[in-house]
Structure formats: structure tokens, C-alpha cells
């Protein structure tokens, strides 16, 4: 649910792959499931390696060779059986051999080959016992306001819980480097001379963590200049339950700062929010005790409204997981990066954000926000609009219509209670954003079109675009 984001900590899936944080190599870590409204039949299909919980030792090092590149390259470091390694698309394009190693009073290994969408043991001396490709999981979830069957796009590659044969040491096996600096980089791609970023953070969830701030000025007073970027560093301890937003902008360098949609005292929040939770690094894996890191949960939220356009993506290409269909618990996976962003809400020549806001009127409510001097610089959601119209009184409750659009009371007891006519999921605001944005969180139970869980060592980039009047 997403009025204030509740971070799920259930270990359902894992984003992979790799060792160092550089282009083309990702990390193998456990991943928490999030949800996405997508037609599961239209998703790309991926191969997902699952390792046994017993009779082998962790960590496991995964190497890959191909006919055109026979030099073994490490692609994953697996700290426990709950983790998965995504090996590539399941469309016939993967033609490779994978060799796996673990160490237990010597090195042990097994090897298998993919070719023509089939898996087989290629080394009789080092077989992966019982290795097969299983069919994806199926279930039922809410997609586009309709409860329907959904199917995972991850094809599990599994093997028996049998010790592997003795082998030789792999070439230069590397654990994940947990000392590398994680960053969230903001890029000013607006026409404005400068923008400023604000942050809200749950202090109680981040004891003694100075990176957890509640401020309207995250960066120096000059802000982020047009065409420039600034990075926020994530500590090794992580940051639990945080959000960032554009809090102000300068039209020219000589103009006063224009405040907009902030989450600080005295403001009615409607700013586009970027909501990440970073877990601590080098924490022992729950099953094996091997140092590991849980995934980063991240989304772009317009639950309260929006004030600036945004594109969000991992700095380096990586796999991120989600759940297909609200309430289904069915794993989805995709590969995301600069060329395939996680989320996107930007003005176009055909549709400014101001026009999008006007098109999003629900029940005749005017959702645009106006400051004293400039044109409209924001758009409130139906929930935020109704909370302004019907402020909660001490000792009283919101009217039913507020509960319906904010997913409160009887409409917020479970993830599926806010779906249906006249409820948060079916507002024109949600419909317009779903049609004109990519995977933006639009209402309190809109997990199914917003949340991702990505490799816990990933860096992320947020490109900021024009305000709604542009």
C-alpha cells in the first residue's frame, strides 16, 4: 500500500547477476517481490537458476562460456539457496555453458549447457544432478482492474540436492564487493536554472543513521544546475523507508526559488516521489551465514500527485523483479538500465504534464495546483484533493468517498479492496497516468504498476524533466 510506503521484507525472488558494479556485470543477491500490472503473456521470458538448499556449500561461483567467447567469465556470486541467477532470455538466444563451483575442503563443480531452449549436462565428470527446466508458476491476480490468470515469465532451472564431483579451482573467484559506494544520482534536464531536492525518511527505522534526513534542501543552496547532476551517497548501513522529490526550482539564476509540492512542515504534498529502501551490506545470509545484501526496493510514485517529469533507471544494466498482478505472488522479472528504464513520466510535444493533469480530472474535480505567481506547477491525486476538501478532524473519521479514493478503512484492509468502480484503482487520474506513463505508482494499492526490487548493490539515476506547465 502506498500512502506512506510500506516496505515488504518477504524473500520471494532474487535479482542477479555478477560481481563488480560496472557496465554489463550485475550482482547475485536475494530479491523481494514487488508487483506490476502487465499482461504476463506479453512479457519476455527468462531462465532462472535455482540452487539446492542442502548437500552443497555456499557461496557458489557461476561462470559462463560461449562458442564465440570460450574464456570463462564469472557472472554470479550466490550466497544462499533463496537467491536466483537469471541466465538470459528463454527464446533460443542463449547458447552457452555454465560451470558452477563451491569450496568445502577442496573445490567441487558441475557444468551444464543451454542450446535450442534445452538444458543438458555437457561434462560427464561434473554433471549437475537432475538438472531440468521447469514450467513457470501460475496463479490469479488483478491486471487492469480485472481478476485473471497470470503466469510468471521466469523459467526455473533446477537440480537435485546432491553433492557435486570434486573439481579444480575456478579462475579468480570473486565475492561481491560490499565496500563499493552506492549512489542515487539526480540529473537536472529541466529548462530551469536550478532545481533542489528534498528528502523524507523514517528516523525510527534508521537509528543513528545520519544519511536519514528530513529536509527540503538535500543539496547545497545552489541546488542542481541545468544540465548537471549531483549524487546522494548511500551508507553501508542502508536507508529504510525514504523518499526524495523536487522541492523547489529557479527559472533563472537571478529569480527567487519557487517552492512546490513538498513533504515538509506546512505543505500539502503532491510532488513526484522517488521511494527507495536500501538494505545494509555484508549482512549474513539467513540460510548460510555468508555475507550478502538484500535487494533495493524502488519506485516512482504519483500517489499524492506529480509536479515534475522523471525517468528512473539502474546506472548499469541489471535484473529487477516484481509480482505479476496484484495479490498473485507470481514472480516477474525484467532487465533494466539506461536504455530500458524502470519508470517514466515525461512531457511530450503532444502532451504536456499540465495537459495530462487537466485530462486526469476525476468526478469534475480540478486537480491542478497553483502557486501565487507562476502557472500551474503540479497536479494532486484524487486522494490528496479529497483530503484537502475533507480534512480529518480529531475524534472523527474521513467520509466514505475519501476512504474509497485513498484506500482507507474497509477499502484498505487488503491489497485487493481498493479495486473496482468508484475506488482508487478506477479513477480517471489513474487511467490517464497508466496510459501516458510507464510503471508509475498511481494510487495507494497500485503496487501492481510501480514497485521493483533490484540488486542491492545497484546505483540508480533519476532524470528530472519539466514541470507540468512546460
CATH of the domain at 338: 2.60.110.10
If asked whether residues 375 and 419 sit together in one domain, one would say yes
Burial 20-41 (b: 16+ CB within 10 A, else e): bbeeebbbbbbbbbbbbbbebe
Q: Is residue 19 included in any domain, yes or no?
A: no
pLDDT tens-place values along the chain, 470 residues long = 543 333 332 333 333 333 322 222 333 333 333 445 455 557 899 999 999 999 999 999 999 999 999 999 999 999 999 998 999 999 888 899 999 999 999 999 999 999 989 999 999 999 999 999 999 999 999 888 889 999 999 999 999 999 999 999 999 999 999 999 999 999 999 999 999 999 999 999 999 999 999 999 999 999 999 999 999 999 999 999 999 999 999 999 999 998 887 787 667 788 899 999 999 999 999 999 999 999 999 999 999 999 999 999 999 999 999 989 888 889 999 999 999 999 999 988 889 898 999 999 999 999 987 654 554 578 999 999 998 888 765 556 778 899 999 999 899 888 788 888 888 888 999 999 999 999 999 998 887 778 999 999 999 999 999 865 55
Mark whether 204 and 79 lie in a shared domain.
no
Rounded CA gap, 176 and 194, in Å?
37
Neighbours of 91 (CB within 10 A): 11
CA 41 – CA 91 distance, rounded (Å):
14
Number of helices and strands in the chain (H, E): 4, 34
Q: What are phi and psi of 286, to 5 degrees?
A: -60, -30
**β-pair partners for 173:** none
Kind of pairing between the strands at 46-50 and 154-158:
parallel
Q: Does any domain span residue 443? A: yes
What pLDDT does residue 44 have?
93
**CA 153/CA 139 separation, integer angstroms:** 12
396 DSSP 8-state letter: -
CA distance 72 to 64: 5
CA 303 to chain centre: 16
Position 35 in a domain: no
3 state DSSP class of 400? helix
Residue 116 lies in a domain: yes
What is the domain count for the chain? 2
Quick check: helix, strand or coil at residue 388?
Answer: helix
Sign for the pseudo-dihedral over CA of 445, 450, 455, 461? negative
Strand runs (DSSP E) across 241-388, as ranges?
Answer: 242-250, 258-259, 273-277, 283-284, 291-292, 296-301, 305-306, 309-314, 318-324, 331-336, 343-345, 368-369, 378-380
d(CA 442, CA 3): 10
Asked whether residue 207 is assigned to any structural domain, the reply reads yes
Which domain, by its residues, includes 54?
45-158
Q: Would you report the helix, strand and coil content of the chain in percent, each value rounded to 5?
A: 10, 40, 50
Cα-Cα-Cα-Cα dihedral sign, residues 452, 49, 43, 23: positive
Q: Residues 269, 237: contact at Cβ < 8 Å?
A: no
Rg (CA), the chain: 23
Q: Are residues 307 and 378 in the same domain?
A: yes
- Is residue 212 located within the same domain as residue 123? no
Same domain assignment for residues 129 and 197 = no
Three-class SS state of 69:
strand
Position 5 in a domain:
no
What is the reported pLDDT for 41?
Answer: 55
- Please report where in the chains the cell 500539502 appears, as a residue: 268
Residues 443, 329, single domain; the answer is yes
Cβ atoms 60, 98 nearer than 8 A: no
Q: Find all residues with CB under 8 Å of 212, minimum gap 6, and list them.
A: 201, 202, 203, 205, 206, 239, 242
Residues in the chain: 470
d(CA 360, CA 381): 9
Q: Which residues pair with 132 in a beta bridge?
A: 158
What pLDDT is stored for residue 4 in this prediction? 35
Sheet with 305-306: list strands edge to edge.
Answer: 305-306, 378-380, 368-369
Whole-prediction pTM: 0.89
Give the DSSP letter of residue 2.
Answer: B
Q: Are residues 208 and 130 in the same domain?
A: no
What are the residues whose beta carbons fall under 8 Å from the beta carbon of 161, sequence distance 6 or more?
52, 53, 54, 55, 56
Same domain, 370 and 443: yes
| Shared-domain flag, residues 251 and 337 | yes
User: Does residue 177 form part of some domain?
Assistant: no
- Let me know whether 248 and 371 are in one domain: yes
From residue 174, how far is each of 73, 110, 316, 326 by CA, in Å? 11, 18, 19, 38
CA distance to 2, 36, 58, 466, per residue, from 320 (Å): 20, 12, 23, 27
Q: How far apart are CA 204 and CA 201, in angstroms?
A: 9
Residue 359 and residue 449 in one domain: yes
* Residue 188 shares a structural domain with residue 151: no
Say which residues have a Cβ less than 8 Å from residue 192's Cβ, sequence separation at least 6: 226, 249, 250, 251, 467
Does residue 305 fall inside a structural domain?
yes
Amino acid at each position: 500500500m502506498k500512502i506512506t510506503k510500506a516496505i515488504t521484507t518477504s524473500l520471494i525472488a532474487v535479482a542477479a547477476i555478477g560481481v563488480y558494479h560496472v557496465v554489463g556485470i550485475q550482482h547475485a543477491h536475494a530479491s523481494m517481490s514487488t508487483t506490476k500490472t502487465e499482461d504476463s503473456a506479453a512479457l519476455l521470458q527468462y531462465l532462472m537458476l535455482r540452487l539446492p538448499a542442502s548437500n552443497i556449500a555456499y557461496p557458489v561461483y557461476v561462470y559462463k562460456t560461449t562458442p564465440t567467447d570460450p574464456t570463462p567469465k564469472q557472472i554470479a556470486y550466490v550466497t544462499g539457496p533463496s537467491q536466483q541467477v537469471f541466465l538470459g532470455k528463454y527464446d533460443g538466444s542463449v547458447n552457452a555453458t555454465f560451470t558452477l563451483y563451491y569450496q568445502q575442503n577442496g573445490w567441487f563443480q558441475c557444468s551444464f549447457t543451454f542450446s535450442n531452449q534445452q538444458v543438458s549436462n555437457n561434462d560427464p565428470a561434473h554433471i549437475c544432478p537432475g538438472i531440468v527446466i521447469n514450467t513457470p508458476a501460475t496463479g490469479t491476480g488483478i491486471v487492469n482492474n480485472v481478476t485473471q490468470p497470470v503466469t510468471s515469465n521466469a523459467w526455473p532451472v533446477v537440480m537435485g540436492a546432491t553433492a557435486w564431483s570434486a573439481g579444480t579451482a575456478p579462475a579468480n573467484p570473486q565475492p561481491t564487493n560490499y565496500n563499493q559506494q552506492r549512489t542515487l544520482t539526480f540529473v537536472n534536464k529541466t529548462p530551469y536554472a536550478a532545481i533542489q531536492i528534498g528528502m523524507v525518511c523514517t528516523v525510527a527505522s534508521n537509528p543513528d543513521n545520519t544519511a536519514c534526513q528530513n529536509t527540503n534542501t538535500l543539496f547545497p543552496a545552489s541546488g542542481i544546475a541545468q544540465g548537471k547532476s549531483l549524487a546522494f551517497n548511500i551508507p553501508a548501513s542502508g536507508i529504510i523507508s525514504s523518499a526524495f522529490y523536487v522541492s523547489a526550482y529557479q527559472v533563472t539564476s537571478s529569480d527567487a526559488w519557487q517552492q512546490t509540492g513538498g513533504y515538509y512542515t506546512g505543505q500539502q504534498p503532491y510532488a513526484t516521489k522517488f521511494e527507495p529502501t536500501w538494505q545494509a551490506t555484508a549482512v549474513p545470509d539467513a540460510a548460510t551465514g555468508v555475507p550478502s545484501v538484500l535487494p533495493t526496493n524502488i519506485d516512482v510514485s504519483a500517489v499524492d500527485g506529480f509536479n515534475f517529469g522523471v525517468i528512473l533507471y539502474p546506472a548499469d544494466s541489471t535484473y529487477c523483479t516484481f509480482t505479476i498482478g496484484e495479490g498473485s505472488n507470481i514472480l516477474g522479472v525484467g532487465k533494466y538500465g539506461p536504455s530500458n528504464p524502470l519508470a517514466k513520466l515525461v512531457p511530450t510535444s503532444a502532451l504536456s504534464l499540465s495537459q495530462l493533469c487537466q485530462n486526469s480530472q476525476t468526478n469534475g474535480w480540478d486537480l491542478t495546483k497553483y502557486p501565487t505567481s507562476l502557472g500551474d506547477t503540479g497536479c494532486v491525486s484524487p486522494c490528496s484533493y479529497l483530503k484537502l476538501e475533507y480534512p480529518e478532524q480529531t475524534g472523527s473519521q474521513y467520509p466514505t468517498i475519501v476512504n474509497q479514493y485513498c484506500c482507507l478503512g474497509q477499502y484498505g484492509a487488503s491489497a485487493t479492496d481498493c479495486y473496482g468502480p468508484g475506488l482508487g484503482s478506477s479513477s480517471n487520474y489513474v487511467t490517464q497516468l497508466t496510459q501516458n506513463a510507464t510503471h508509475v505508482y498511481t494510487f495507494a494499492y497500485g503496487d501492481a504498476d510501480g514497485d521493483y526490487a533490484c540488486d542491492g548493490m545497484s546505483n540508480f539515476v533519476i532524470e528530472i524533466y519539466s514541470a507540468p506547465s512546460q
